[in-house]
Chain A
Amino acid sequence: DAKTTQPPSMDCAEGRAANLPCNHSTISGNEYVYWYRQIHSQGPQYIIHGLKNNETNEMASLIITEDRKSSTLILPHATLRDTAVYYCIAAFWSYQLTFGKGTKLSVIP
């Protein structure tokens, strides 16, 4: 699986959009980009995934660059409940997920 690089931490004001970057410069053509988050003491929660096209669901949007070397997870209106560690994972199959250290997002009132 391709290695991903994420900033260790980020802050975001409540109500504003949270934009979480992820670099995956060695991603191969058939590897998906997955995003999960883990709120303290809970199991990871699936957010979104994509291959080439931008994706949107009720939780977030995923913007993947045309060369697929990086992506951004967007939480459009961050709330305090979005405070969590966010993991960006590049993987061929979903069950081959290798979790890195992720980005600790703190939503500030």
Chain B
Amino acid sequence: SAVISQKPSRDICQRGTSLTIQCQVDSQVTMMFWYRQQPGQSLTLIATANQGSEATYESGFVIDKFPISRPNLTFSTLTVSNMSPEDSSIYLCSVEGDRLRSGNTIYFGEGSWLTVV
């Protein structure tokens, strides 16, 4: 499986500020995704990070609030803008595995825990 590194792993942020989360993969991947997991809840897909084009957002998530970059096939960033306490969540980067070796599956990073105060 791919090795996925996320930074920061944990942060406490002030209300109204923005934070950028980085996701680095040890191999080139076509598909990268960003998920959110609010406290006590399951995972929710935010968007698909497309290399060379704008991200594709799921219902309820907008680019102004969660801008995403995907400059190459191994790296992506998610920014949480103008944060409020409701944005306190784990943010997870995930990537599609090598279809030839692992079939049709995706792998997750360890997540970035954000607490907004």
Secondary structure call for the A interface: loop
Q: Which residues of chain B (97-117) have a CB below 8 Å from chain A?
A: 97, 103-111, 113
B63 within 8 A of A: no
Is the CB–CB distance between B42 and A43 below 8 Å?
no
Q: How many angstroms between the C-alpha atoms of A95 and B1 in the bound complex?
A: 15
Is the CB–CB distance between B109 and A93 below 8 Å?
no
B43 within 8 A of A: yes
Per-residue CB contact flags for chain B residues 10-41 toward chain A (1 = under 8 Å, else 0) read 00000000000000000000010100000000
B89 within 8 A of A: no
Is the CB–CB distance between B110 and A43 below 8 Å?
yes
Q: Which residues of B contact A (CB under 8 A)?
A: 1, 4, 31, 33, 42-45, 48, 90, 92, 94, 96-97, 103-111, 113
Additional A-B contacts beyond A43-B94, A95-B33 (6; CB < 8 A) = A43-B92, A46-B1, A46-B107, A49-B105, A95-B96, A101-B42
